Amino acid sequence: MSQDGTVIGARTPEEVGASAMKKAIWRLGPFLGLLYLVAYMDRNNAGFAKLEMTTALQITEAAFGFAAGIFFIGYLLFEVPSNLLLERFGARKWIARIMVSWGVVAALTAFVQDSTQFAIARFVLGVAEAGFFPGVLLYLTLWFPRQYRTQVLAVFVLSNPIANAVAAPLSGWMLELHGMWGLAGWQLVFLLQGIPAVVLAFVVFFWLPDRPQDARWLDASEQQWIDDTLAAETAATEQKHGRLRLGEVFGNGRLWTLIVLFFGVVFGAYGLGMWLPTIVKSMGDFSNSTTGWLVALPNLCAALVMLPWELAARKQGNIPLQIGITLSITALSLVAAVAAQGTPVVALIALCLGMSALFSTTPLFWSLPPMVLTGTAAAAGLAFINSVGNLAGFAGPYAIGWISGTTGSAIWGLLLIAGLTLLGATIAFVLSRRSDFTIPAAALLDVGELSTTKES
């Protein structure tokens, strides 16, 4: 099928493309988002387990922060190899393998007996989960042209705040089940939240199509439209930026710029994700259950804001500019939360605004690397950005743990997060002046427009 506007059967190429994208977005986006929701819960549930396990296992604040963050060292070491193996074996088999591995490790964390074992479990969990997120990003580049990518990424990454919003009251409730099966509440948090990953791995293996040609819910003309459109984009990208060989990826200046930007985003996301229960509980004499519901509020706000924010950014077209705005709002909101720490309601409102802006940054950011990378370089580059940037996932929880142990309050760690997100905002504003990372606003469609497009 050609891209020249010729009518094919009863539909034009534009109608075929809109139909294909509508099906792909709604069949793949929510399901992949569910997988990410489970992953995010398993890597962040230690924040709630901490409310009991640090006392039970006599783990210091700094030791907990170190163990929570060392997840990302294992993640870093195995991220690129895992993504290259995914390209070789296919998303269906490799993502299913990853999910079985991390689900088993997450559940077994319930049986650690001291800080050393906890740190080892977190490191192994990072190894087990390595490759999942960049693997899904690579998978999406095989399905969605550039103008649709931020949209499906927003649907996918929406799982972050939803996971926190669901996990917060759920984990608080699980802590209250102390004594069930002879286990402490913190043990039940790890055990019960690890099981869903193993179950969903079988769904992935038997249901997820590797490529558009394998999707029975796309007709032949829709499969061909996706192939033709992606091939044209790949050729245009390689003509503009050249085709990077695998070895050239790791010294590419554009990638390192994106890594520094991503570092600030991740530092904030995981610093807050791991320590927000402690920060909120320090605002008042709240029970574990009440803390869970209060922690859910900023995440719920983020979930409600992400899709409209992504749509507005996509229509404007200058993605780095929008990232600069969201990170600036994050920084200012976190400073306001620290200033209002004596007034819990105001501090919570500031946290709601800050987390909404921070989470809205993620789908915008991940639309940038495929604009300058293709093929195997994209597989390695996406994993490399995610793995090196995710060193902030180690640094964030550890630094806030040190600040908490030194000052007696984790809330002062918000100022450090604010400073790094402001650095990210500065980089984003610089990138906004380059044409490499700009999408023509007129070319973009949203889900509402897709839903009204004629289908046969």
Name the burial class of residue 176, with classes exposed (0-12), middle (13-18) and buried (19+) by CB atoms within 10 angstroms of its CB: middle
Can you tell me the distance from the alpha carbon of 242 to that of 361, in angstroms, rounded to the nearest whole number? 28
Q: How far apart are CA 350 and CA 332, in angstroms?
A: 9
Percent residues over pLDDT 90 in the chain: 23
- CATH class for the region spanning 13-210+251-445: mainly alpha
Given this model, what pLDDT does residue 198 score? 94
Tokens read off for 58: 């006599």
Question: Is the whole-model pTM more than 0.85?
Answer: no
pLDDT of residue 62: 82
**Residue indicated by tokens 């992400």:** 306
CA dist 240 and 376 (Å) reads 17
Tell me the pLDDT band of 7, cut-offs 50, 70 and 90. very low
Q: Where are the domains of the chain?
A: 13-210+251-445
pLDDT at 282 over 60: yes
Least confident of 18-27, 184-193, 257-266, 380-389: 380-389
Encode 21-34: b = buried (16+ Cβ within 10 Å), e = exposed.
Answer: bbbbbebbbebbbb
List, for residues 222-251, the tens digit of each pLDDT value: 999 999 998 887 777 666 555 555 556 666
Q: Please, what's the largest Cα pairwise distance for the chain?
A: 70
Segment 85-96 shows an average pLDDT of 87
- If pLDDT is split at 50, 70 and 90, which confidence band does 218 have? very high
pLDDT averaged over every residue in the chain? 81
Give yes or no for a contact between 91 and 208, defined as CB atoms under 8 angstroms apart.
Answer: yes
